[in-house]
């Protein structure tokens, strides 16, 4: 059963001061099933954030519609947990208060809020930082908090918009493995936006490749089990030089037993996705 369905969703932004309108997203369809981990992959400006914001209910499509478990998406809701690239924690709240925020909004008792917040604080490895404010945290810890805040509401689907894009390589790979571990053990459903091919192959069971602006999904590629196993054993190939080869995998949830290598990856999957990203836009 498909949980999230995008049916011919497009978005055109009105022109500014008499300028021409911006066609950000061509009519795009996508079905996300339970326990999918789908990466939306495309170059900057191709409409990835636009699409995710529409799914989050933060923006409305110009045409088409989005449904979650059959119900039309028209506004933000606790059934969709969102994590953005830039830090969106409430700066005046502590880590724990940030994570409790949605639970309080839902009217849960203080005891329940405390129990759930403590669970997710442990889940993302932030014990001891409960009373810290966001500005006292590293970027990775802020994103751990944002992830815990999204998970605490037990959403039907997690929506992540380049959540690790601002992090250094080592922190990014730790966060990738943390998220994969949670996805595997908690059987979450994930729609993850990235412009990074290696990240997409490392994380996803399906990669939806978008064309350049105005974007649309031109091809969906299934990353099959051997490819994913290979990618996850070695980690995403790194483009940033030999230093990255020395990284340790440090899996909080044991998704990767071997040290990552800077050269390996999932070559077959990488080549297929690269060909799609680079190639002329095919099918429509
Ligand atoms: P991506 O996330 O893939 O980098 P975006 O979805 O942010 O791309 O943007 C797609 C296109 O839509 C870009 O050309 C961007 O400038 C334009 N765009 C995004 N949001 C708005 C907006 N609120 N008003 C006008 N144009 C926008
Ligand atoms: Mg974006």
Q: Which residues are found with C-beta within 5 Å of the ion, ligand 2?
A: 49
Dihedral sign, CA of 176, 179, 185, 188? negative
d(CA 88, CA 81): 13
Please count the residues of the chain.
Answer: 284
Bridging pattern class, strands 37-41 and 63-68: unpaired
Joined tokens for residue 109: 């008792």
Name the residue with tokens 């190939």. 237
State how far the alpha carbon of 209 is from the alpha carbons of 28, 31, 53, in Å: 12, 14, 18
Ligand 2 centre from 97 Cα, in Å? Answer: 28
State how far the alpha carbon of 54 is from the alpha carbons of 44, 51, 172, in Å: 17, 5, 26
Sequential pLDDT tens for the chain (284 residues): 579 999 999 999 999 998 999 999 999 999 999 999 999 999 999 999 999 999 999 999 999 999 999 999 999 999 999 999 887 899 999 999 999 999 999 999 999 999 999 999 999 999 999 999 999 999 999 999 999 999 999 999 999 999 999 999 999 999 999 999 999 999 999 999 999 999 999 999 999 999 988 899 999 999 887 777 777 777 666 544 333 333 333 333 434 433 343 334 456 777 778 787 777 654 44
d(CA 221, CA 39): 10
State the closest ligand 1 atom to the C-alpha of 22, by its place in the atom list counted from 1.
26
Ligand 2 centre from 237 Cα, in Å? Answer: 22
R_g over Cα of the chain: 19
The answer, as to whether pTM is greater than 0.75, is: yes
Q: Please report the DSSP string for 127-143 in residue order.
A: TT-TT--GGGS-HHHHH
State the closest ligand 1 atom to the C-alpha of 43, by its place in the atom list counted from 1.
3
Q: Whose CA is nearest to atom 25 of ligand 1?
A: 13
State the closest ligand 1 atom to the C-alpha of 53, by its place in the atom list counted from 1.
6
d(CA 157, CA 225): 22
Ligand 1 centre from 123 Cα, in Å? Answer: 34
């Amino acid at each position: 059963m498909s949980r999230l369905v995008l049916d011919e969703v497009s978005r055109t932004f009105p022109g500014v001061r008499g300028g021409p309108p911006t066609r950000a997203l061509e009519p795009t369809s996508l079905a996300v099933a339970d326990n999918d981990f789908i990466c939306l992959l495309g170059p900057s400006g191709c409409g990835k954030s636009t699409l995710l914001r529409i799914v989050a209910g933060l923006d409305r499509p110009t045409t088409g519609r989005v449904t979650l478990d059959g119900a039309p998406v028209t506004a933000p809701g606790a059934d969709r947990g969102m994590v953005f690239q830039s830090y969106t924690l409430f700066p005046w709240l502590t880590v724990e208060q940030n994570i409790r925020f949605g639970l309080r909004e839902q009217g849960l008792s203080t005891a329940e809020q405390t129990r759930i917040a403590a669970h997710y604080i442990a889940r993302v490895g932030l014990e001891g930082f409960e009373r810290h404010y966001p500005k006292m945290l590293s970027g990775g810890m802020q994103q751990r908090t944002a992830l815990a805040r999204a998970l605490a509401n037990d959403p039907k689907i997690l929506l992540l918009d380049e959540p690790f894009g601002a992090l250094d390589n080592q922190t990014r790979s730790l966060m990738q493995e943390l998220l994969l571990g949670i996805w595997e053990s908690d059987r979450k459903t994930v729609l993850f936006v990235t412009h990074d091919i290696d990240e997409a192959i490392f994380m996803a069971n399906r990669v939806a490749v978008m064309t350049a602006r105005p974007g649309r999904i031109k091809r969906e590629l299934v990353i099959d089990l051997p490819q994913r196993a290979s990618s996850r054993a070695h980690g995403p190939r790194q483009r940033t030089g030999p230093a990255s080869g020395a990284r340790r995998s440090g899996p909080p949830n044991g998704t990767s037993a071997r040290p990552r290598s800077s050269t390996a990856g999932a070559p077959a999957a990488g080549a297929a996705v690269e060909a799609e990203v680079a190639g002329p836009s095919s099918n429509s």
